[in-house]
Amino acid sequence: MIKRENPSQMDFKQVFSSDIKLFGEIITESFEMTKSEKQKRPPHFRNRNWHANTFNSNIQGKLIDQYGGLVKLQGGRFFLKLNGSIFYFKKLDSKTKMPSHIKTRNANKLMNNYATLFEEANPIIWIGYCVDSSCSNLTGIYAVSIDENAINWITDLSDFDSNASIVYTISKNDPDGGPTNKPLVSIKSGIAKAE
C-alpha cells in the first residue's frame, strides 16, 4: 500500500472552481429525479435501499453525461478522475460529515487514504450530501478531505458559489499538542466569520 497525497482545500477551490457549482447541480438534480421516480413507484416496489441506490445511480448517470470517460468504475464504485484528483460521490453522516460506508477492506483503504501498488495514488476528495431522516430533503452538499479516518477539511457546496465557504478545517497539531476539531471559520447567517 502507498499513502495518497492529501489535497489542499485552497487548491480544490481554485482548480475546481468551475466544477463546484456543477457538482452541486448534479446532486440536486439527481435528488429531484429520485423524488419524482419515488412518486411513480408504489411502496411495495421499493426495498429499504431503493432511495440510496436510485439516487446514487442518478448521480452516476449525470456525471457520465457531463464528464464522459472521466467517470470510472472500479470495485463496484464509480468515481470521477479530474485534473489529477479522484472524486467519490457519497452520502455523508449528517453529524460527522464522514462518508457512509459498509466497513470493507476497500472502504477502510479509502478512508485511511491509501492506494494499492496497482492504482494511481491520486488525492481523493469526497463530494457528499446529507439528507433528512425521511430522505425527502437535501440538507447539505459538501466537499470533504479525509486522512487516517479523520476529516482534514470540509467545504460547503450548498450555495453553488465558486467562492464556496470554508465550513471548518481541522488542525492535526493544535498549540496544546493534541488534535482539535475547532472551526477556523464559522458560518452564521450566511456570513463567514473567523474564530
Residue boundaries of the structural domains of the chain:
2-165
180 residue type, one letter: T
Can you tell me whether residue 130 is helix, strand or coil? strand
H or E, element range at 131:
strand 124-131
Q: Which residues contact 38 (CB under 8 A, 6 or more apart)?
A: 46, 50, 51, 54
CA 110 to chain centre: 13
> Cα(46)–Cα(32) distance, rounded to whole angstroms?
17
26: left (phi over 0), alpha (psi -120 to 50) or beta: alpha
Residue 159's pLDDT is what? 60
Residue 25 grid cell: 447541480
Residue 144 near residue 97, CB atoms below 8 Å: yes
Largest CA distance in the chain: 56
- Picking from 17, 8, 2, the residue whose alpha carbon sits closest to that of residue 163 is 17
Burial of 86 (0-12, 13-18, 19+ CB in 10 A): buried
Question: Each residue's pLDDT tens digit in the chain (195 positions)?
Answer: 888 888 888 889 888 988 998 999 999 999 999 999 999 999 999 998 899 999 999 999 999 999 999 999 987 789 999 999 999 999 999 999 998 877 777 777 777 777 776 777 888 899 999 998 888 889 999 999 988 888 999 998 876 554 555 555 554 444 444 334 443 333 333 333 333
